[in-house]
Amino acid sequence: MREIINISLPRELVVEVGKIMRKEKFATKSEFFRHLLRMKIEGKLLKELAESRKELVEGKGKLLKSLADLN
């Protein structure tokens, strides 16, 4: 089930959204904003993964060999 979220933007941002939509061929503003949210979420997950890898390299992390190691 989808829910509707309304946002208001200053005119300058509306113009920029239109330019990006045409350039990247988004069919609707909703499609454009869903894409932005997915990119934000994906970026956050990639950042967390990079931090976890860094901890492992630095010897601060714990490498799990099985689910039993979670305890």
DSSP calls for 3-68: --------HHHHHHHHHHHHHHT-SSHHHHHHHHHHHHHHHHHHHHHHHHHHHHHTT-S---SSGG
More confident site: 6 or 63: 6
Residue 43: inside a domain: yes
Residue 58's pLDDT is what? 86
Q: For residue 35, tell me if it sits in a domain.
A: yes
Parent domain of 43 = 11-56
Mean pLDDT of 2-10: 92
| Average pLDDT of the residues in 7-20 | 95
Q: Do the domain assignments include residue 51?
A: yes
Domain count, the chain: 1
What integer pLDDT is reported at residue 1 of this predicted model?
87
pLDDT (tens digit per residue) in 16-69: 999 999 999 999 999 999 999 999 988 888 888 888 888 888 888 776 777 777
